[in-house]
Each structure stands twice: as structure tokens, then as C-alpha cells.
Amino acid sequence: MIASRAGWTRKKPRAHYVGVKFTLMNDLDFKPAAIMTAICVLIGVAIHYFTGFYWLTATLLVMSALLINGLMMFNEDLDPGGYDYQEGITDTTKAKAEQTKTNRIQIFIIVLLIIGAIWSAI
């Protein structure tokens, strides 16, 4: 406890909380995900209309194809000579660890979408 000039006391702030901004779900932008989902649903419904293929299966397969394409582009752009490559910034061990973490998350989402597509086709 710290005594102030006015005579009241307050708790001393913890060092690891000072200057730390806590961000939970407030900084996430869901608009691109909603747009991608809407476009994939429209493509899935169009595939269902023209081929008779179940719309949910088609939607999930289209969404997984888009995510696979995005994953490949993400990794190609971070390779040396790629669009987002910056020597000393994107080739550090921390940046490579973040890239690996991002790849694992996106592969997990793709696998879930493919499992959902298989499940909906059964």
C-alpha cells in the first residue's frame, strides 16, 4: 500500500499490468469473414441449383478451397523474393514461429471445413 498526501491509501500497480492494453474480441473485424461466408454460400447455392449437389457440402468445399489458396499465397509471399518478404523482419525466428502458428491454425480450420463437408455429404 502506498500512502498519499491526502492520507488515503491505494494498492501499488503491478509492474506487468502497467501500460499493457488488453484486447479481446473488440479489435477483430468480422466483416471480411462475413463477406467470404456470404459469397461461399451463394456459390454453394448456385452449384446446388445447377448440379443438384448439396449446397452445404458445396459451400464448405468452396470455403476450404479459398482458404487453401490463401494459405499458399501467404507462405509464398513470406518466402525470400516474395511480396511481403523483408530481410531482417520476416526471416527472424520470432516471425517464423508466428508464421508456423498461423499455418497450423489455418490448416486446422481447413481440416474442420473438409470434415464438415464430408459429414454433410453422408
Q: Say if residue 104's pLDDT is above 50.
A: yes
Task: Answer with the residue of higher pLDDT: 21 or 96.
Answer: 96
pLDDT tens digits along 53-101: 999 999 999 999 999 999 999 999 888 888 888 888 888 899 899 999 9
Q: Give domain limits for the chain.
A: 29-121
**What DSSP assignment string belongs to 22-58?**
P-SSTT---HHHHHHHHHHHHHHHHHHHHH---HHHH
Q: What is the pLDDT of residue 42?
A: 97
Q: Say if residue 43's pLDDT is above 70.
A: yes
In this structure, the number of other CB atoms found within 10 A of the CB of residue 52 comes to: 8
- pTM, rounded to two decimals: 0.71
Q: Which of 114, 11, 120, 8 is nearest to 63 (CA)?
A: 114
- pLDDT band at 1; cut points 50, 70, 90: very low
- pLDDT band at 38; cut points 50, 70, 90: very high
